[in-house]
Amino acid sequence: MDKAYLFLLPLIAVALIIIPLVIALKRKKSGKSVNIKKSIVINACSFIGCMALMICVMPAFVGAAEAGETAEAADGLAKGLQYLGAALSTGLATIGTGIAVGGAAPAAIGATSEDDKNFTKSLIFVALGEGVAIYGLLISILILFS
């Protein structure tokens, strides 16, 4: 495969990931029933399939590189994995924060509405949930600058 067509791979991946969502939206707009769980599973499977395809196809381009470009490709791969690790640490930490704050904030609002003295105590629990995101960001900064 020619390197000129390399830019098409991400476009194909994005198209494969968006297609199940577009189909679900069209079905909902036309009034047909939409199975949300099925749509999410299809979307997740298409995302995982695209990422597996990218992992399988990209080494073919790296393997086709000349001997002088191999060191640059390995350095690029290490830098890419470094960015991936930083993105995963921040992304998973913020997902955890969303889950924690999603449970703590309504409880804090309910406790505050019953008694105003509970505001500071409930604020601490919400702030503890936010701390997870800060730790994830700290880890990603350490990964990027190490």
Task: Give the tens place of pLDDT for each residue, 97-122.
Answer: 999 889 888 988 898 889 888 888 88
Q: Are 1 and 56 in contact (CB under 8 A)?
A: no
Question: pLDDT for 38-84, tens place per residue?
Answer: 877 887 887 787 777 777 776 666 555 555 566 666 677 788 888 89
**Separation of CA 129 from chain center:** 19
The pTM assigned to this predicted structure is 0.49
Backbone φ and ψ for 29, nearest 5 degrees, come out as -70, -35
Q: Where are the alpha helices (DSSP H) in the chain?
A: 8-29, 36-63, 67-114, 119-144
Q: Are 54 and 12 in contact (CB under 8 A)?
A: no
